[in-house]
Amino acid sequence: MKMGCVGCLFIVIGIIFFAAVAGGFLFLSGNIFEAPPFDAVEWSRGDASSAQSKLYELVQRDAGQSTRQDPVLLSEREANALAAQYLAQTGHLRFEPFGIRLTQGQFTLRGRTQLGSILQGPPFAQIRPYLPAAQLARPVWISARGYVALDQGAPGKNPGTARVVVSEFSLGRQPVGTWPFSIVMGPASPKLFRWSVPGTVRDVEIEDRRIVIRTR
């Protein structure tokens, strides 16, 4: 057997082993299918429109089309609607129900989706068509706690980057850390945790029931 074929064989074996271990963790851990306590948050998808209007003010300031300096405030309702829309459009993650609680310095997210929705990265995306539809449709709760960090840009020149730093992550009632989620989501994972912001943004602070965005 040629060395190239041997290398391919080891790669295939490695992928199968990884899929078996990770898949076994997901499917055999019964705790991930148990529903955690859910504290409902009142919001509607229409709240995303008012949030986007406020965020557009940041774009205008960065372009020199607005001289306002007051902080841009997003309510908890608006943050929920905006996050739900972003997760659905960027990560193809749709939750029902879904809720984010904002407290001083951090957020707590909790929502229910289908197991198949989080199996997006290799090798899960490749084996998903062969998994039972009933298994893929099983509801699974995602819970996360963390905060938002900002890498500043240059006003009117270079955009900054907002990053979600997750300190706790659970599937159902099972704490799993952030790495299993990053693996099963594949290429979509980095997009969920970071996004560009206008260079004029100076800081993003989470307060009780609101997000405060300050500019320079």
pLDDT digits (tens, 9 = 90+) for 114-135: 989 988 888 788 888 888 899 8
Looking at the predicted structure, is the pLDDT value of residue 10 above 70? no
What pLDDT is stored for residue 182 in this prediction? Answer: 79
Least confident of 13-17, 63-67, 115-119, 163-167: 13-17
pLDDT digits (tens, 9 = 90+) for 72-111: 999 999 999 999 999 999 999 999 999 999 999 999 999 9
pTM: 0.83
CA dihedral angle for residue 80, residue 81, residue 83, residue 87, rounded to 10 degrees: 130
pLDDT digits (tens, 9 = 90+) for 130-155: 888 998 999 999 999 999 999 999 99
What pLDDT is stored for residue 59 in this prediction? Answer: 97
- Range of the structural domain that residue 201 is part of: 3-215
Q: How many CB atoms lie within 10 A of CB 33?
A: 17
Looking at the predicted structure, is the pLDDT value of residue 208 above 80? yes
Q: How many CB atoms lie within 10 A of CB 40?
A: 9
As a whole number, the mean pLDDT across the chain is 86
Number of domains in the chain: 1
What pLDDT is stored for residue 204 in this prediction? Answer: 97
pLDDT digits (tens, 9 = 90+) for 161-182: 999 999 999 999 988 887 777 7
Between the alpha carbon of residue 200 and those of residues 82, 99, 106, 157, 212, the distances in Å are 21, 29, 23, 9, 14
